[in-house]
Protein backbone atom coordinates (compact mmCIF):
# COMPACT_ATOMS: atom_id res chain seq x y z
CA UNK A 1 0.00 0.00 0.00
CA UNK A 2 1.37 3.42 -0.96
CA UNK A 3 2.08 5.54 2.13
CA UNK A 4 0.61 8.89 1.24
CA UNK A 5 1.09 12.38 2.56
CA UNK A 6 -1.38 13.08 5.38
CA UNK A 7 -4.22 15.53 4.79
CA UNK A 8 -3.91 19.02 6.26
CA UNK A 9 -4.67 19.21 9.99
CA UNK A 10 -6.17 15.71 10.07
CA UNK A 11 -5.24 12.05 9.76
CA UNK A 12 -8.04 11.48 7.24
CA UNK A 13 -9.95 13.56 4.73
CA UNK A 14 -13.18 15.16 5.97
CA UNK A 15 -15.36 15.37 2.83
CA UNK A 16 -18.81 16.85 3.56
CA UNK A 17 -20.52 15.12 0.64
CA UNK A 18 -23.23 12.78 1.90
CA UNK A 19 -21.99 9.58 0.30
CA UNK A 20 -24.78 7.27 1.47
CA UNK A 21 -27.42 7.34 -1.31
CA UNK A 22 -30.39 6.59 0.98
CA UNK A 23 -29.37 9.25 3.52
CA UNK A 24 -28.76 11.72 0.69
CA UNK A 25 -32.21 11.09 -0.81
CA UNK A 26 -33.83 11.50 2.59
CA UNK A 27 -32.03 14.81 3.24
CA UNK A 28 -32.88 15.98 -0.28
CA UNK A 29 -36.59 15.45 0.51
CA UNK A 30 -36.26 17.15 3.88
CA UNK A 31 -34.42 20.08 2.26
CA UNK A 32 -37.49 20.97 0.21
CA UNK A 33 -39.38 21.68 3.46
CA UNK A 34 -36.59 23.71 5.09
CA UNK A 35 -36.05 27.47 5.05
CA UNK A 36 -33.75 28.15 2.11
CA UNK A 37 -31.48 30.84 0.67
CA UNK A 38 -29.86 31.24 -2.73
CA UNK A 39 -26.18 31.64 -1.87
CA UNK A 40 -23.45 33.52 -3.75
CA UNK A 41 -21.33 31.75 -6.35
CA UNK A 42 -18.38 31.96 -3.92
CA UNK A 43 -20.38 30.30 -1.13
CA UNK A 44 -21.53 27.59 -3.55
CA UNK A 45 -17.92 27.00 -4.62
CA UNK A 46 -16.91 26.70 -0.96
CA UNK A 47 -19.63 24.04 -0.54
CA UNK A 48 -18.28 22.06 -3.49
CA UNK A 49 -14.72 22.23 -2.08
CA UNK A 50 -15.95 21.20 1.38
CA UNK A 51 -17.97 18.38 -0.16
CA UNK A 52 -14.97 17.13 -2.14
CA UNK A 53 -12.63 17.04 0.89
CA UNK A 54 -10.28 19.71 -0.47
CA UNK A 55 -10.89 21.92 2.57
CA UNK A 56 -9.99 19.26 5.17
CA UNK A 57 -10.06 19.63 8.19
CA UNK A 58 -13.00 22.05 7.78
CA UNK A 59 -16.48 20.51 7.92
CA UNK A 60 -18.50 23.64 7.26
CA UNK A 61 -18.50 27.42 7.09
CA UNK A 62 -16.43 29.46 9.54
CA UNK A 63 -17.87 31.71 12.22
CA UNK A 64 -16.87 35.35 12.57
CA UNK A 65 -14.09 34.71 15.13
CA UNK A 66 -12.43 32.07 12.92
CA UNK A 67 -12.72 34.27 9.82
CA UNK A 68 -11.16 37.27 11.58
CA UNK A 69 -8.40 35.05 13.02
CA UNK A 70 -7.67 33.66 9.54
CA UNK A 71 -7.56 37.20 8.13
CA UNK A 72 -5.19 38.48 10.80
CA UNK A 73 -3.00 35.47 11.67
CA UNK A 74 -3.76 32.80 9.02
CA UNK A 75 -5.00 30.35 11.62
CA UNK A 76 -8.29 29.08 12.97
CA UNK A 77 -9.28 29.56 16.60
CA UNK A 78 -8.08 25.97 17.15
CA UNK A 79 -4.58 27.03 16.04
CA UNK A 80 -4.69 25.11 12.74
CA UNK A 81 -3.06 26.97 9.85
CA UNK A 82 -5.58 28.28 7.29
CA UNK A 83 -4.97 31.13 4.80
CA UNK A 84 -8.38 32.37 3.58
CA UNK A 85 -11.86 32.65 5.11
CA UNK A 86 -14.39 29.99 4.05
CA UNK A 87 -17.73 31.68 4.60
CA UNK A 88 -21.42 31.61 3.90
CA UNK A 89 -22.03 35.35 3.56
CA UNK A 90 -25.57 36.62 3.06
CA UNK A 91 -27.00 40.09 2.44
CA UNK A 92 -29.91 39.52 4.86
CA UNK A 93 -30.34 37.57 8.07
CA UNK A 94 -32.17 34.31 7.29
CA UNK A 95 -35.48 33.58 9.05
CA UNK A 96 -34.01 30.82 11.16
CA UNK A 97 -32.80 30.18 14.70
CA UNK A 98 -29.46 28.71 15.75
CA UNK A 99 -29.51 24.91 15.76
CA UNK A 100 -31.93 24.66 12.84
CA UNK A 101 -31.15 23.49 9.32
CA UNK A 102 -30.93 25.83 6.32
CA UNK A 103 -31.09 24.68 2.69
CA UNK A 104 -28.47 26.36 0.51
CA UNK A 105 -29.59 26.82 -3.08
CA UNK A 106 -27.20 26.86 -6.02
CA UNK A 107 -27.06 30.15 -7.99
CA UNK A 108 -25.20 28.50 -10.88
CA UNK A 109 -27.68 25.78 -11.85
CA UNK A 110 -31.07 26.29 -13.53
CA UNK A 111 -33.91 26.14 -11.04
CA UNK A 112 -31.51 26.84 -8.16
CA UNK A 113 -31.66 23.34 -6.65
CA UNK A 114 -30.48 22.64 -3.10
CA UNK A 115 -26.70 22.18 -3.10
CA UNK A 116 -26.18 21.56 0.62
CA UNK A 117 -27.94 21.63 3.96
CA UNK A 118 -26.31 23.64 6.72
CA UNK A 119 -26.85 23.10 10.45
CA UNK A 120 -26.64 26.67 11.70
CA UNK A 121 -24.28 27.19 14.67
CA UNK A 122 -24.30 30.98 14.67
CA UNK A 123 -25.56 34.01 12.75
CA UNK A 124 -23.31 37.05 13.14
CA UNK A 125 -22.64 40.31 11.40
CA UNK A 126 -19.41 41.84 10.11
CA UNK A 127 -19.43 45.62 10.35
CA UNK A 128 -18.06 47.64 7.42
CA UNK A 129 -14.69 48.05 9.07
CA UNK A 130 -14.33 44.30 9.76
CA UNK A 131 -15.42 43.40 6.23
CA UNK A 132 -12.99 45.88 4.62
CA UNK A 133 -10.13 44.83 6.91
CA UNK A 134 -10.71 41.16 6.06
CA UNK A 135 -10.78 42.00 2.36
CA UNK A 136 -7.53 43.99 2.68
CA UNK A 137 -5.84 41.12 4.58
CA UNK A 138 -6.85 38.44 2.07
CA UNK A 139 -6.66 40.33 -1.24
CA UNK A 140 -4.24 43.11 -0.30
CA UNK A 141 -6.79 45.67 -1.50
CA UNK A 142 -10.43 46.77 -1.34
CA UNK A 143 -10.30 48.18 -4.87
CA UNK A 144 -13.56 47.25 -6.67
CA UNK A 145 -11.54 46.82 -9.89
CA UNK A 146 -9.90 43.76 -8.29
CA UNK A 147 -12.23 40.88 -9.34
CA UNK A 148 -11.71 38.91 -6.11
CA UNK A 149 -12.16 41.88 -3.79
CA UNK A 150 -15.23 43.01 -5.74
CA UNK A 151 -16.81 39.53 -5.48
CA UNK A 152 -15.99 39.27 -1.77
CA UNK A 153 -17.41 42.67 -0.85
CA UNK A 154 -20.59 42.13 -2.85
CA UNK A 155 -21.70 38.96 -1.02
CA UNK A 156 -23.10 40.59 2.09
CA UNK A 157 -21.98 40.86 5.72
CA UNK A 158 -24.14 38.27 7.53
CA UNK A 159 -21.93 35.34 8.57
CA UNK A 160 -23.89 32.06 8.81
CA UNK A 161 -21.62 29.42 10.37
CA UNK A 162 -22.01 25.69 10.79
CA UNK A 163 -21.43 22.24 9.37
CA UNK A 164 -22.82 21.28 6.00
CA UNK A 165 -23.99 18.12 4.27
CA UNK A 166 -23.37 18.45 0.55
CA UNK A 167 -25.95 16.83 -1.73
CA UNK A 168 -24.27 17.31 -5.13
CA UNK A 169 -21.28 18.95 -6.82
CA UNK A 170 -23.20 21.74 -8.58
CA UNK A 171 -22.65 21.78 -12.37
CA UNK A 172 -19.13 20.34 -12.25
CA UNK A 173 -19.93 16.62 -12.49
CA UNK A 174 -22.38 17.13 -15.36
CA UNK A 175 -20.28 19.59 -17.38
CA UNK A 176 -16.85 18.05 -16.75
CA UNK A 177 -17.44 14.32 -16.17
CA UNK A 178 -13.95 13.35 -17.37
CA UNK A 179 -12.14 16.07 -15.44
CA UNK A 180 -13.87 17.04 -12.20
CA UNK A 181 -12.49 14.94 -9.34
CA UNK A 182 -12.80 15.14 -5.58
CA UNK A 183 -9.75 15.02 -3.31
CA UNK A 184 -10.92 11.53 -2.31
CA UNK A 185 -10.96 10.35 -5.94
CA UNK A 186 -7.52 11.80 -6.72
CA UNK A 187 -5.99 10.14 -3.65
CA UNK A 188 -7.55 6.84 -4.69
CA UNK A 189 -6.16 7.16 -8.22
CA UNK A 190 -2.66 8.05 -6.95
CA UNK A 191 -2.73 5.00 -4.65
CA UNK A 192 -3.89 2.80 -7.55
CA UNK A 193 -1.00 4.03 -9.71
CA UNK A 194 1.47 3.46 -6.87
CA UNK A 195 2.94 6.96 -7.19
CA UNK A 196 5.05 8.11 -4.22
CA UNK A 197 6.26 11.54 -5.33
CA UNK A 198 3.58 13.59 -6.99
CA UNK A 199 3.87 17.06 -8.49
CA UNK A 200 0.71 19.18 -8.74
CA UNK A 201 0.32 21.95 -11.30
CA UNK A 202 -2.38 24.61 -10.93
CA UNK A 203 -3.83 26.21 -14.01
CA UNK A 204 -6.67 28.52 -14.98
CA UNK A 205 -5.30 28.94 -18.52
CA UNK A 206 -4.46 26.65 -21.44
CA UNK A 207 -0.90 25.33 -21.13
CA UNK A 208 1.69 26.73 -23.51
CA UNK A 209 5.18 25.32 -24.12
CA UNK A 210 6.57 27.14 -21.09
CA UNK A 211 4.00 25.54 -18.75
CA UNK A 212 4.56 22.12 -20.30
CA UNK A 213 8.33 22.34 -19.85
CA UNK A 214 7.96 23.70 -16.32
CA UNK A 215 6.01 20.57 -15.38
CA UNK A 216 8.68 18.42 -17.01
CA UNK A 217 11.48 20.28 -15.18
CA UNK A 218 9.76 19.85 -11.83
CA UNK A 219 9.20 16.13 -12.43
CA UNK A 220 12.83 15.58 -13.42
CA UNK A 221 14.37 17.64 -10.63
CA UNK A 222 12.13 16.15 -7.95
CA UNK A 223 12.38 12.62 -9.38
CA UNK A 224 8.58 12.48 -9.34
CA UNK A 225 6.52 9.45 -10.36
CA UNK A 226 3.64 11.46 -11.69
CA UNK A 227 2.11 14.84 -12.44
CA UNK A 228 -1.41 15.93 -11.50
CA UNK A 229 -2.60 18.79 -13.69
CA UNK A 230 -5.35 20.30 -11.57
CA UNK A 231 -7.37 22.92 -13.40
CA UNK A 232 -9.84 25.38 -12.01
CA UNK A 233 -13.30 24.71 -13.46
CA UNK A 234 -15.29 27.47 -11.74
CA UNK A 235 -15.97 31.14 -12.36
CA UNK A 236 -13.21 33.31 -13.81
CA UNK A 237 -12.98 36.97 -14.72
CA UNK A 238 -14.36 38.23 -18.03
CA UNK A 239 -12.07 37.45 -20.97
CA UNK A 240 -10.50 34.30 -19.48
CA UNK A 241 -10.72 31.18 -21.64
CA UNK A 242 -13.70 28.95 -20.72
CA UNK A 243 -12.96 25.72 -18.86
CA UNK A 244 -14.15 23.37 -21.61
CA UNK A 245 -11.74 24.93 -24.17
CA UNK A 246 -8.89 24.85 -21.65
CA UNK A 247 -9.67 21.23 -20.82
CA UNK A 248 -9.58 20.18 -24.49
CA UNK A 249 -6.28 22.03 -25.09
CA UNK A 250 -4.58 20.48 -22.05
CA UNK A 251 -5.79 16.97 -22.90
CA UNK A 252 -4.42 17.30 -26.42
CA UNK A 253 -1.01 18.46 -25.11
CA UNK A 254 -0.76 15.57 -22.63
CA UNK A 255 -1.91 12.98 -25.22
CA UNK A 256 0.67 14.05 -27.77
CA UNK A 257 3.68 15.17 -25.71
CA UNK A 258 3.74 13.27 -22.40
CA UNK A 259 4.59 9.58 -21.83
CA UNK A 260 1.57 7.37 -21.18
CA UNK A 261 0.49 7.20 -17.51
CA UNK A 262 2.83 9.99 -16.42
CA UNK A 263 0.12 12.63 -15.92
CA UNK A 264 -3.41 12.81 -14.57
CA UNK A 265 -5.72 15.52 -15.91
CA UNK A 266 -8.13 16.62 -13.22
CA UNK A 267 -10.12 19.67 -12.20
CA UNK A 268 -11.80 21.16 -9.16
CA UNK A 269 -14.96 23.19 -8.64
CA UNK A 270 -13.93 26.53 -7.25
CA UNK A 271 -14.22 30.16 -8.30
CA UNK A 272 -10.89 31.90 -8.78
CA UNK A 273 -10.18 34.34 -5.95
CA UNK A 274 -7.26 36.15 -7.64
CA UNK A 275 -5.89 36.57 -4.12
CA UNK A 276 -2.22 36.10 -5.10
CA UNK A 277 -0.13 35.08 -2.06
CA UNK A 278 -3.05 34.01 0.14
CA UNK A 279 -4.55 31.96 -2.67
CA UNK A 280 -1.17 30.30 -3.33
CA UNK A 281 -1.25 29.07 0.28
CA UNK A 282 -4.82 27.85 -0.13
CA UNK A 283 -3.82 26.05 -3.33
CA UNK A 284 -1.04 24.30 -1.41
CA UNK A 285 -3.48 23.21 1.33
CA UNK A 286 -5.87 21.53 -1.03
CA UNK A 287 -3.09 19.96 -3.14
CA UNK A 288 -1.81 18.36 0.07
CA UNK A 289 -5.35 17.15 0.75
CA UNK A 290 -5.59 15.55 -2.70
CA UNK A 291 -2.34 13.65 -2.10
CA UNK A 292 0.37 15.67 -3.90
CA UNK A 293 3.80 15.79 -2.23
CA UNK A 294 5.04 18.81 -4.24
CA UNK A 295 3.35 21.84 -5.72
CA UNK A 296 4.64 24.21 -8.43
CA UNK A 297 4.38 27.87 -7.45
CA UNK A 298 5.12 30.10 -10.41
CA UNK A 299 5.71 33.76 -10.98
CA UNK A 300 2.64 35.88 -10.17
CA UNK A 301 0.79 32.79 -8.94
CA UNK A 302 -2.99 33.41 -8.66
CA UNK A 303 -2.41 37.11 -9.31
CA UNK A 304 -4.29 39.63 -11.36
CA UNK A 305 -3.26 42.99 -12.82
CA UNK A 306 -0.47 44.69 -10.86
CA UNK A 307 -1.88 44.02 -7.40
CA UNK A 308 0.98 41.73 -6.31
CA UNK A 309 4.74 41.63 -6.76
CA UNK A 310 5.92 38.92 -9.22
CA UNK A 311 7.29 36.62 -6.49
CA UNK A 312 5.06 37.62 -3.57
CA UNK A 313 3.19 34.30 -3.78
CA UNK A 314 6.50 32.47 -3.29
CA UNK A 315 7.81 34.73 -0.53
CA UNK A 316 4.73 34.18 1.64
CA UNK A 317 5.76 30.54 2.17
CA UNK A 318 8.81 31.84 4.06
CA UNK A 319 6.52 33.70 6.45
CA UNK A 320 4.27 30.86 7.59
CA UNK A 321 5.18 28.77 10.66
CA UNK A 322 7.54 25.83 10.10
CA UNK A 323 5.52 22.65 9.68
CA UNK A 324 2.29 24.52 8.82
CA UNK A 325 2.14 22.46 5.62
CA UNK A 326 3.49 18.99 4.86
CA UNK A 327 3.52 19.52 1.08
CA UNK A 328 6.73 20.97 -0.40
CA UNK A 329 6.94 23.78 -2.94
CA UNK A 330 8.78 23.83 -6.25
CA UNK A 331 9.48 27.53 -6.74
CA UNK A 332 9.58 28.43 -10.41
CA UNK A 333 10.67 31.50 -12.30
CA UNK A 334 9.11 32.71 -15.53
CA UNK A 335 9.84 30.12 -18.21
CA UNK A 336 10.33 30.94 -21.89
CA UNK A 337 11.84 29.54 -25.06
CA UNK A 338 15.51 30.44 -25.47
CA UNK A 339 16.54 31.08 -29.08
CA UNK A 340 20.18 30.67 -28.02
CA UNK A 341 19.68 27.24 -26.44
CA UNK A 342 16.78 26.09 -28.63
CA UNK A 343 14.72 24.97 -25.61
CA UNK A 344 12.51 26.29 -22.82
CA UNK A 345 14.43 27.49 -19.76
CA UNK A 346 13.71 29.27 -16.50
CA UNK A 347 14.77 32.85 -17.18
CA UNK A 348 16.77 33.16 -13.95
CA UNK A 349 18.84 30.14 -15.06
CA UNK A 350 19.96 31.93 -18.22
CA UNK A 351 21.82 34.97 -16.83
CA UNK A 352 23.72 35.48 -20.10
CA UNK A 353 20.47 36.10 -21.99
CA UNK A 354 18.89 39.41 -22.84
CA UNK A 355 15.15 39.80 -23.38
CA UNK A 356 15.66 39.50 -27.13
CA UNK A 357 17.05 35.98 -26.69
CA UNK A 358 13.65 34.68 -25.54
CA UNK A 359 10.39 34.11 -27.41
CA UNK A 360 8.13 36.34 -25.32
CA UNK A 361 4.56 37.15 -26.24
CA UNK A 362 2.01 39.04 -24.18
CA UNK A 363 -1.38 37.48 -23.51
CA UNK A 364 -2.96 40.26 -25.57
CA UNK A 365 -0.67 39.57 -28.55
CA UNK A 366 -1.43 35.83 -28.39
CA UNK A 367 -5.20 36.45 -28.22
CA UNK A 368 -5.00 38.77 -31.23
CA UNK A 369 -3.04 36.20 -33.24
CA UNK A 370 -5.47 33.41 -32.37
CA UNK A 371 -8.47 35.63 -33.22
CA UNK A 372 -6.98 36.21 -36.68
CA UNK A 373 -6.61 32.44 -37.15
CA UNK A 374 -2.85 32.79 -36.85
CA UNK A 375 -0.96 30.20 -34.80
CA UNK A 376 1.63 31.57 -32.34
CA UNK A 377 5.19 30.39 -33.06
CA UNK A 378 5.74 26.68 -32.24
CA UNK A 379 8.33 27.75 -29.63
CA UNK A 380 5.47 29.37 -27.74
CA UNK A 381 2.51 27.07 -28.33
CA UNK A 382 2.15 23.52 -29.61
CA UNK A 383 0.38 23.57 -33.00
CA UNK A 384 -2.28 21.09 -31.82
CA UNK A 385 -3.06 23.35 -28.84
CA UNK A 386 -3.05 26.50 -30.99
CA UNK A 387 -5.61 24.85 -33.32
CA UNK A 388 -8.11 24.35 -30.47
CA UNK A 389 -7.59 27.92 -29.23
CA UNK A 390 -7.93 29.42 -32.72
CA UNK A 391 -11.29 27.68 -33.17
CA UNK A 392 -12.46 29.14 -29.84
CA UNK A 393 -11.35 32.71 -30.58
CA UNK A 394 -12.75 32.68 -34.08
CA UNK A 395 -16.12 31.38 -32.83
CA UNK A 396 -16.15 34.32 -30.38
CA UNK A 397 -15.35 36.90 -33.06
List residues with catalytic annotation: 204-205
3-state secondary structure of 122: strand
Closest CA to 265 of 349, 319, 330, 200: 200
Q: Is the peptide bond before 24 cis (omega within 30 degrees of 0)?
A: no
Q: How far apart are CA 241 and CA 396, in angstroms?
A: 11
How many Å apart are CA 262 and CA 210, to the nearest integer? 18
Residue 286 falls in which region: left (phi positive, over 0), alpha (psi -120 to 50) or beta: alpha
Class of residue 374 by CB neighbours under 10 A (exposed 0-12, middle 13-18, buried 19+):
exposed
**Between the CA of residue 121 and those of 34, 170, 213, 377, 393, what are the distances in Å?**
16, 24, 48, 56, 47
Strand partners, 125: 158
User: Which of the 8 DSSP states describes residue 23?
Assistant: H
DSSP state letters, 365-385: HHHHHHHTT-PPPTTTS-HHH
Amino acid sequence: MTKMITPHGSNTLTPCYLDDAAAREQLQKQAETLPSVVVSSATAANAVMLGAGYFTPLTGYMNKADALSVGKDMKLGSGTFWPTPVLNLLTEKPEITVGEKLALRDPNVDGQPVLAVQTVDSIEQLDDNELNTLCEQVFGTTDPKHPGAEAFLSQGNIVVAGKIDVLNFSYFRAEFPDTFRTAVEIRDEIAKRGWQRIVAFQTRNPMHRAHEELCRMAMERLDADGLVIHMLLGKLKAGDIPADVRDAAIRKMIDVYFPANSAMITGYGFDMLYAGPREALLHAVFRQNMGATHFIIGRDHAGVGDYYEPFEAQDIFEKIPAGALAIEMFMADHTAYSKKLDRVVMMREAPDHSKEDFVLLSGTAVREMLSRGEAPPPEFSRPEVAEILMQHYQSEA
